[in-house]
Amino acid sequence: MSRHFYGTELTSPLMLGTAQYPSPEILGDAVRAAQPGVVTVSLRRESAGERAGQAFWSLIKDLGVPVLPNTAGCHTVKEAVTTAHMAREVFGTDWVKLEVIGELDTLQPDVFGLVEAARILSDDGFKVFPYTTEDLVVAERLLAAGCEVLMPWGAPIGSGKGLNNIFGLRALRAHFPDVPLVVDAGIGVPSHATQALELGYDAVLINTAVAKAGDPAIMAEAFRLAVQAGALARKADPMEERDMAVPSTPLIGKAMLA
């Protein structure tokens, strides 16, 4: 398990989204409680309104957490590439979380457009973090397009359903043992994040589960502890599952009653 992404080591395997919080103050409290390795920011959302984006960007800079801009809300390759270039100018980073949405009900990525946009941005010097599915063929195409990180979904964005396809996520981890992998989307509670780290994923990205909690700061702290537990469990090399019971108390040396 590694926290190195494009040569940069993150301080935490927790990535935190910054959308949907009730207020900037609550967002700040949540970020401080989560102590994330990076926060994600949508240029399209935060640049809207009457100079609201500038106030938001000032808040993020004051928190002192590395920023991963994203292309949330983009549905075409052109739209995503244009947004990524704007984000590089605004946030001063060549990192970008690439989203090209293809289906409105599930917000499933358009994997064909995603690969095309990833190739264009990689050629333009971007370090691309693609929001994708757990499909192995798509993963191969993204890596060939220049991506060094993959961000498969756990479940549809904002659904809170957790890790819907454990087999697929486990297969992706096994097939690409040296590629940094981040479970992105669908995580609803801290135990989902722990499970992702136990599977060997390098990080998780959380947004709605924290922002929409009754107390975002407390939930953010819970996720901070959850990813620590998952990472430690993975490092400890967990026991394998068994189909039959095995007694935890040995029979040798145990008194036998007639």
The whole-angstrom separation of Cα 145 and Cα 124 is 12
Known binding-site residue numbers for 1-deoxy-D-xylulose 5-phosphate: 158, 185-186, 207-208
- Whether 98 contacts 68, CB under 8 Å: no
Catalytic, out of 61, 97, 127, 212: 97
Annotated active-site residue 97? The verdict is: yes
Task: Quickly count: other Cβ atoms within 10 Å of residue 125's Cβ.
Answer: 9
- Mark 228-245 as b/e (b = at least 16 C-beta within 10 Å): bebbeebeeeeeeeeeee
Residue type, 100: V
Largest CA distance in the chain: 85
Contacts for 212 with CB less than 8 Å, ≥ 6 apart = 20
Catalytic residues: 97
